[in-house]
Structure 1
Amino acid sequence: MVRYELVDTSDVSTIPHARSIPLAEAAGPLVLAIDIGSGSTRCCLYDGYGRPIKRRTVKADHAFTEAADGTAEIDADQVTDEVSAVITGVVADLEPGAIAGVVMDTFASSLVCVDAQGDALTPCFTYADSRSAAQLAALRERLDESAVHQRIGARLHTSYHPPRLLWLRDTMPEVVAKTAKYLSLGEYIYAKLAGIAGAATSTMAWAGILNRHTLELDEELLSAAGVTKDQFAPIVDPDQPIRDVSPAVAERWPALSGAAWFPAIPDGYASNIGVGADTPSVAALSAATSGAIRVIVPGTPEVLPPGLWAYSVSHTQSIVGGALNDVGRVMAWLQSTLAPVAPEEVHDALTAPPRSDTPLVLPFFTGERATGWAGNARAVFTGVSSSTTTLDLWRGAAEGVALSYARVFEQLVLANPQLKRVIASGGVTGDVPGLMQIVAQAIGFPVQVVDVKRVTMRGAAVLAASVLQPGRLAALIPPTELTEPSADQRAYYADLLARFTAVYEGVIAQ
């Protein structure tokens, strides 16, 4: 695995800085990276050091279709068209064969039903879709959830395939009857654009159906969900790019002639690599529409704490952590629902000393993943009075998000005592910088926000470049200041966590 760490650049004078460069200064091999997130599809050209090439980035915005019944989906063909368009924009005027590798990351735990002709029968169901809550409850009654968690590395949850596959069987039997393959969004796009099949090890793990000890699809879960192993693509490790692609690729995009196509990986895996959290001592904290704290470890933990997942990312490594459905989504809801508040006012409210009369918020707008895995959970606001202001609600919601991170972090340290650093990235760290100060207080651990753009897409590019040219170090990310927790706020956040837990157990965990 590529080593990609935040270090003092004066000590490594021969390694370039992580900044955008003109194409004329690029060092090969060139890599085309595609990032499909909750809010957009992006594509960028990178050089062999993982540096983005100037004026070679194209973006297409999109949004999930969401509804009160738990719907959270997006049209798979729409995203495929977006990917096609952004690739065309980035590779324009490049020489034939100029690009050595194509790599993609996507939001994880996606599912598309595909017929025998390779066409989508359904939208892409996303990680946030919780319509399978009833099927989840049925699975939890039928199966030993603790045993499933220890075997798969993921709990039974609406984010994962098993309950969703049952929901499809119960609510769309005619679709299931026509389904030849169950694909992730990345697999579907690759099949449509390049005629290739292959699911990354990490993608199948993030789907909640891969046995983390055998690295094979779990027969018990497949049987419980009413599907068979041959309905899924062959599993491919990240260092096994696919070169047998459709001739139509070179005809449509000559610059991609001969390029190796790396299996699409989950955005969480790419994000860890992108910020330098690729060793057991460094955790990556992401804060975008959703969020997570993750650490890459050798092998897989023998025993997992109940609130965490452990996804195998290759035959030799796993990524351990927990995810939050709602981080940036909480901030967006606050801004669109409450009276408009200037960013400066929000920042002042979030960086002010804590107050005991701040509302207590459980920020589960689209269900909870780690640590309680309550897929049908919804947000709870308590302690709201006639004197509560808009900014008080902002502060309470931010503290609720921070406590959600803290619940994950507490178990992550138990699973991996080697942790020494937390590196934060994601759009929310820049849009709502005060949130990371609250997170540092809540987890009781220093947090370092990296000053680098599009870390997820960059991580995918660095991964591909490390395979295409082994041994080359990636460009250096300059160090930034730490956000340190304050000892005088420790008691406040300990009490707040206790109150959060009491409300959670009284309202959610029933």
Structure 2
Amino acid sequence: MDTSVVEDTVDAVGPLVLAFDVGSSGTRGGVFDATGTEVPGLRGKSGHAFITGASGTAVIDADEVVAEIAEITDDILAELPAGQSVAGVAIDTFSSSLVGVDAAGAAVTPCFTYADTRCHEQVLDLRRELDEEQVHQRTGTRLHTSYTPARLRWLAQDHPQMFTAATRWLTLGEYVYLHLLGTTAVGSAAASWSGMLDRVAGTWDEEILAAVRITADQLSPVHEPDEPIRPLPGSAAATALARRWPALAEADWYPVIGDGLAANIGADAATPGVVGVSAATSGAMRTIVPTAAGRLPSGLWSYRISTERTLLGGAVSDVGRVSSWAESILRVGGPTADAGGRPDGALLDAVLSAEPGEGTPLMLPFLSGERSTGWATGARAHILDLGAATTADQIYRGAMEATALSLGRIAEQLRTVTGPPARIAVGGGMAKGLPGWLQILADVLGTEVVHVRHKRSTLRGTALLALEHLAPGVQRSRARTGSHYRPDPARADYYAQRKARFEVAYQALIAGPVG
């Protein structure tokens, strides 16, 4: 746990929101005022990790996350000035999670995460049984290991006792609310991330439910973002909550959302024409559009936020993971003694900031399979054009160009729906640590890229969505930004050739043999 003593809340504009961001490496919490500004000192964090295995396992203990949120809440509220209250609680989690519970609300399964790939065979089965194009157009998602349908089919086939022990199926956020409030609901954004929600109607998709052998009453009611949840008046949960956290006794608890939506909102990429890019271990490119029944490009997902708004975009599994792999395997960057053997970021960035060269190998960067745009779950990485004179630095450069090219394929499909973006806002560890990569991204996209430097911007986005309901008339603060990267016209031909060769290699090595 990491908290600090609050020094001054005088300048905070009410009402206050307590926000949580549950990521793959830990849970963070903080208090934000009505302008979307974090209140100094009122923050906390707790680390955790996915339990992973060679079989494709990637799970987490849902009760551990409940305990983390409760402990962080204890510590933050202990520092809140006497008599001050919090008007809202908002949570985002990593997207596409699943936990089965019994009639008493106890977990009878681990919490499965988006990264668990053990249902690969069930993806193929569902693709044979269902019309995937129709599923995609209705739900906004493809049949893939990242989503819930194949995972439920896998549980029914490979773990039938576990499957039948579950009377309800919840996302991680719903599970947290059930155990803190005694009641729960699923936000439309989180429901859409499951791959089982009609993206226009906002109701559970009957064909998908039938295919995975569950019924709608085994799922939670779907709430819009402005439909908060409260413990039932007079219930044991309401009494316990008021006793433990008096400052939250009257708080509205807002439906849990996915971290991708929170990241866009927190980076001020929540208006039409603005595209948000998250670049960390994995990556995503998203924009918010009006909810409508228009045709969805095959490589994109469409996650319903509300009746009015939808998050449109695509995700890739490998961005920072490619850099880490190259640093480890190729030993680029030269280990530095004062950094415990880690590569020198300045040396790595120098490789990326240099002029592109014809000797740079081409890579298909699918170390962890492909999501957008081809959804080839079994895809693997390939490096082409290696020669006797190829250096480790050139391979590294080619690998990082490939991550930008992957995002560029998403951008091309986004443009068919939204037209050219007005601005591309990029945040995440890659943006901070490797600014040279941001220039490559700008050159590949042919659009100016803005580095979002705002710390804990995902947490901020979670608070901002709640504040739309809690404090609609208050002027919001702006996300802090850094350098702007403009595409270099002199490199346009180089990257046009790289894009073309990437597509040829993809069709030959991924689209053909891998389904």
- Tell me by how many angstroms 1:21 deviates: 8.8
Give the share of equivalent positions with the same residue, in percent. Answer: 44
Q: Is 2:300–2:312's contact at 8 Å kept on the other side of the alignment?
A: yes
Structure 1 range deviating more: 134-143 or 474-483: 474-483
User: One-letter code of the match for 1:285?
Assistant: V
Contact 1:154 1:310 in 2 (8 A): yes
Partner-residue secondary structure (3-state), 2:10 = helix
1:149-178 Cα deviation digits (max 9, x unpaired):
111111111111111111111111000010
Match of 1:31 in 2: 17
Q: 1:377 maps to which residue?
A: 379
* Matched residue, 1:275: 267
Amino acid at match of 1:219: E
CA distance in 1, matches of 2:475, 2:379: 43
In structure 2, give the amino acid aligned to 1:226. R
> Whole-Å Cα distance in 2 between the matches of residues 387 and 77 of structure 1?
53
Q: Is the 8 A contact 1:96 1:254 kept in 2?
A: no
> Is residue 63 of structure 2 the alignment partner of residue 77 of structure 1?
yes
Cα distance between partner residues in 2 of 1:506 and 1:170: 33
For 1:21 and 1:447, locate their aligned partners in 2 and report how far apart those are by CA, in whole Å.
36
Alpha-carbon spacing, 1:96–1:362, altered in 2? closer, same or farther (3 Å): farther
1:427 Cα offset (Å):
2.2
Q: Which runs of no fewer than 5 residues in structure 1 stay unpaired?
A: 1-19
Higher deviation after alignment, 280-289 or 378-387? 378-387
With over 3 angstroms needed to count, the CA separation of the structure-2 counterparts of 1:479 and 1:449, relative to structure 1, is closer
Structure-2 separation of matches of 1:233 and 1:71: 26
Residues 191-236 of structure 1, C-alpha deviation per residue, up to 9 Å, x if partnerless?
1222221100011111111111221100001101111111111100
- Partner residue in 2 for 1:332: 324
Q: Secondary structure of the equivalent of 2:407? A: helix
CA distance in 2, matches of 1:286, 1:21: 32
1:79-100 CA deviation, whole Å, 9 max, x = no partner?
Answer: 2222222222221132356111
The answer to whether the 8 Å contact 1:301/1:310 transfers is no
In the superposition, relative to structure 1, how do residues 330 and 86 fare at CA in structure 2: closer, same or farther (>3 Å)?
farther
Please tell me the residue identity of whatever aligns with 1:275: A
Given the superposition, is the C-alpha separation of residues 426 and 505 from structure 1 closer, same or farther in structure 2, using an over 3 Å criterion?
A: same
Q: Which residue of 1 aligns with 2:77?
A: 91
Return closer, same or farther for 1:163/1:282 CA change in 2, 3 Å cut-off.
Answer: same
Does structure 2 retain, via aligned residues, the 8 Å contact 1:97–1:258?
no
Deviation beyond 4 Å, 4+ runs, structure 1: none
Query: Which among 212, 222, 225 is matched to residue 209 of structure 2?
Result: 222
SS in 2 for 1:120: coil
Asked if the contact 1:301–1:415 (Cα under 8 Å) also holds between the matched residues in 2, the reply is no
- Once residues 14 and 317 of structure 2 are traced to their aligned partners in structure 1, the CA distance between those partners, rounded to angstroms, is 38
Post-superposition offset of 1:458: 0.1
Contact in 2 for aligned 1:21/1:51 (Cα 8 Å): no
Task: Show the 5 A alignment for 1:256-405.
Answer: 256-339=248-331, 340=335, 341-405=343-407
Q: Structure 1 residues 194-203 or 376-385, which shifts more? A: 376-385
Q: Where does residue 40 of structure 1 map in the other structure?
A: 26
Q: Secondary structure at the match of 1:23?
A: coil
Counterpart pick for 1:446 among 425, 445, 448: 448
Letter in 1 for 2:78: A
Equivalent residue number for residue 176 of structure 2: 189
Partner of 2:36: 50
Counterpart-to-counterpart distance in 2, 1:337 and 1:105: 34
Of 132, 146, 161, 1:159 maps to 146
Q: How far off its partner does 1:479 sit?
A: 5.4
Q: Output the CA distance in 2 between the equivalents of 1:97 and 1:109.
A: 35
Cα deviation for residue 270 of structure 1 reads 1.1
Report the CA distance between 1:370 and its aligned residue. Answer: 0.6
Amino acid at match of 2:264: N
Alignment correspondent of 2:131: 144
Quote the Cα distance in structure 2 between the aligned partners of 1:24 and 1:346: 44
User: Is 2:228 the counterpart of 1:238?
Assistant: no
Residue type of the partner of 1:329?
A: R
Change over 3 Å in CA distance of 1:74–1:238 after alignment to 2: same
After the TM superposition, which of the residue ranges 53-62 and 32-41 deviates more from structure 2? 53-62
**Structure 2 CA distance, aligned partners of 1:331 and 1:87?**
35
Q: Shift of residue 387 of structure 1?
A: 3.8
CA distance in 2: counterparts of 1:121 and 1:431, whole angstroms: 41
The one-letter amino acid paired with 1:78 is: E
The 2-side partners of 1:274 and 1:21 are apart by 24
In 1, the alpha carbon distance for the partners of 2:400 and 2:151 equals: 31
- Once structures 1 and 2 are overlaid, which stretch shifts more, 352-361 or 154-163? 352-361
Contact kept? 2:181, 2:231, Cα under 8 Å? no
Deviation at 1:301, TM superposition (A): 4.9
Mapping for residues 458-477 of structure 1, pairs under 5 Å: 458-477=460-479
Is the 1:130–1:367 contact (alpha carbons within 8 Å) kept by the matching residues of 2?
no
What's the counterpart of residue 9 of structure 1?
none
TM-score normalized by structure 1? 0.92
Q: TM (normalized to structure 2)? A: 0.92
Within 1, Cα distance between the matches of 2:473 and 2:63? 38
Change (3 A) 1:376 1:66: farther
Q: Deviations over 1:425-462 (max 9, x none)?
A: 12221122222111111111111112211111101111
Letter in 2 for 1:39: S
Structure 1 residue 288, shift from structure 2 partner: 1.9
Equivalent residue, structure 2, for 1:415: 417
- Of 178, 190, 199, the residue aligned with 1:203 is 190
Deviation at 1:134, TM superposition (A): 0.6
Deviation at 1:364, TM superposition (A): 1.8
Shift, 1:418, TM fit: 5.7
SS at match of 1:148: helix
Shift of residue 50 of structure 1? Answer: 0.8
In the aligned structure 1, how far is the partner of 2:54 from the partner of 2:329? Answer: 16
Aligned partner of residue 40 in structure 2, secondary structure: strand
Partner residue in 2 for 1:4: none
Q: Report the secondary structure of 2:87's partner residue.
A: strand
Q: What code does the residue aligned with 1:211 have?
A: D
Distance in 2 separating the partners of 1:293 and 1:194: 34
Contact 1:113 1:181 in 2 (8 A): yes
SS at match of 1:164: helix
- Residue 329 of structure 1: CA displacement? 2.5
Counterpart residue number, 1:5: none
* Letter in structure 2 aligned against 1:151: R
- Any unmatched runs of 5+ in structure 2? 1-5, 336-342
CA contact (8 A) 1:423 1:450 kept: yes
